[in-house]
Amino acid sequence: MKKKFVSTLLAAVMVVSLAACGGESGNESSGGQSSEQSSEQSSEQSGSDGAENQGSAEVTPEALVDPFAHITFDEGADEGYTVVERAENDPGALDGATHGIVDSTATVSYADGPVGQAVYLDGEHALNLHLEPTNTDTYTVSYWMNADRVATYAPTLTMGYNMGKAADAGNDVTWFNVTQSEWGTDSAKIFPIVWSRNEASDAQDGTDCWPWMYAFDDQRHGIKEWVMVTIVCSGETQTGAAGTTTAGAQYYLNGNLVYDSADNYTNHTYWEEWTWDASLAPNIMKPGDAQFESWFGINYWDTIYKGFVDDLYVFDTALTPGQVLSLYQLGDPNVSSVAPEGAAGNEEEPQNPVVTITGTQLGAEDFTSGWWTTFSEGWEVPSGETVSKTFVNWHGAEASNWNNFVIVLQSEAVSPLEKSADCVEYAVLRADNWGWKMDGDTQLTTGDSLDTLGWTVESDWNWDTFAADLQGATVTVSVTNNGDTADVECQITTAAGDTHFQNYKNIAINDGALGFCLTVDSSMLDIQ
């Protein structure tokens, strides 16, 4: 079916044509029926029976309402989107960004899509969609995609405001990012997951609103196959025990309801814990005076998307299950979409390195050890002395910068899983220069400038090549106990023989009591 019909005519046609379809959802390519906040969060799933029951409920197609916006991605349609690319290491005035996004003179390619034509993005260029916010508490966003390459936290559709600004600078930062995560059972990769943010929805204890939702099936959908993603913000206010407020939302894959936060909030159907956190951030479509942004395939930090996108809708209402099904039935997920010549549309998944362990292994050999799950033994550092440990650092083929070694400083020389109630956590130091310390029961977290915690931070990394440089690198960590402060010095020799340093100094400790250990985040250490 062509995409050029006006929506009112389309709705009228569908009332007639879908009546003969009953509750069938058409041909599905990914089995849309389904059976964290940040990379530091871990929780337990409650099983998938509830999601299966929701996804398999009988649904009758319903007529669609007029869309607020519709991008067909047909060649020559002149629909207002423009091509953009990354400005490497140049975030400009965006104090929370790693890269900037700038206009590009490149052009995109077109191919057959589920509905008419689709755009193909080559992994170096992306789209500024130039969408307007609906300024409503309820809305729906839906689109088709077929990915050749995705990476953890890398974007497909990203929308919001102040996205490249640092929340700690007093900016309201709000967005959602449809991405891949490793938050499934045993760190299983999940795609697509809707991860969202509203810094202005902080609880009284300072907890940011970082909700997320997905199909709860520990699978990746839309990798070298077409999938229709539909995000419905139904807008119910959901407040967690800590006071953080989220918005009720429903999530569909290929027309099937795979997650309903309102159901989960009341009945724990999908998720036993963190019920308030498995939903959608509020006010994403109500930016007020702030500039609203809408990108496909790019954000200010992560790997650019590679693959197809087709038929994007925005509605200023919350679509019903029947309307979402009607939208899905407009497309053909079985269409053969061919990437342009030279675009490597059949790109293979990168392979994990084969590692030979010569010392003590920390972390699973397939790099599935999740955050804060496994630790080395603890090493005591007496006052006035320095203790050093050497290891070889390994990570998976699609690792992000934080998927490497982590150093934990405490008042006891034990694993954090074995520490006493009186043990003080002085610092957690991630390899990518992120870290935090505890101030009583409050975790103080910071990013690029760890010295805001009172520490002195020194390093000479090229952060664009950081992950590659740490693959197979030999790291020597030296911890010095100065009595009332601790210093941590890291000397790194890459597999290619290059050297780097990474130091943290002036970390406050209590009465000379100091121990440290190592942990991993989807990585593995060979401790010598």
Whole-model pTM: value is: 0.70
pLDDT tens-digit series, residues 150-184: 888 899 999 999 888 876 656 788 899 999 988 88
Q: What is the model's pLDDT at position 74?
A: 97
More confident residue, 42 or 498: 498
Q: Strands 125-128 and 117-122: what pairing?
A: unpaired
Q: Where are the beta strands (DSSP E) in 240-345?
A: 245-253, 256-260, 292-296, 306-315
* SS3 sequence of 316-371: CCCCCHHHHHHHHCCCCCCCCCCCCCCCCCCCCCCCCCCCCCCCEEECCCCCCCCC
Query: CATH topology for 7-23+33-328?
Result: Jelly Rolls (2.60.120)
Per-residue pLDDT of 9-19, as tens digits, reads 233 333 333 33
Instruction: Let me know: does 86 contact 101? Beta carbons within 8 Å.
Output: yes
Chain-centre distance for alpha carbon 144: 19
CA separation for the pair 528, 518 (Å, rounded): 13
pLDDT confidence band for 189 (50 / 70 / 90): confident
Break the chain into its structural domains and give their ranges.
7-23+33-328, 360-527
* 365 close to 353: Cβ distance less than 8 angstroms: no
| DSSP string for residues in 127-145 | EE--PPP--SS-EEEEEEE
The per-residue pLDDT for 502 is: 92
Q: What is the DSSP string of 427-442?
A: EEEETTS-EEEEETTE
User: What pLDDT band is residue 83 in, cutting at 50, 70 and 90?
Assistant: very high
Q: Which helix (H) or strand (E) holds 15?
A: helix 7-17
Pick the range with the lowest mean pLDDT from 58-67, 303-312, 398-407, 480-489. Answer: 398-407
For the chain, the residue count is 528
Determine the average pLDDT of the residues in 469-493.
Answer: 95
Distance between first and last Cα of the chain:
63
The CATH fold assigned to 360-527 is Jelly Rolls (2.60.120)
Q: pLDDT at residue 302 above 60?
A: yes
**Mean pLDDT, all residues of the chain:** 82
pLDDT > 50? residue 27: no
- Closest to 17 (Cα-Cα) out of 51, 62, 50: 62
173-178 contacts at long range (C-beta below 8 A, 24 or more positions apart):
173/96, 173/197, 173/198, 173/199, 173/200, 174/198, 174/199, 174/200, 174/281, 174/283, 174/284, 174/287, 175/281, 175/284, 175/293, 176/231, 176/280, 176/281, 176/284, 177/153, 177/299, 178/229, 178/231
Residue 98 has pLDDT above 50, yes or no: yes
- Smallest CA-to-CA distance from 197 within 237, 155, 162 is with 162
227-242 pLDDT per residue, tens: 999 999 999 888 876 6
pLDDT at 152: 85
In this prediction, residue 15 carries a pLDDT of: 32
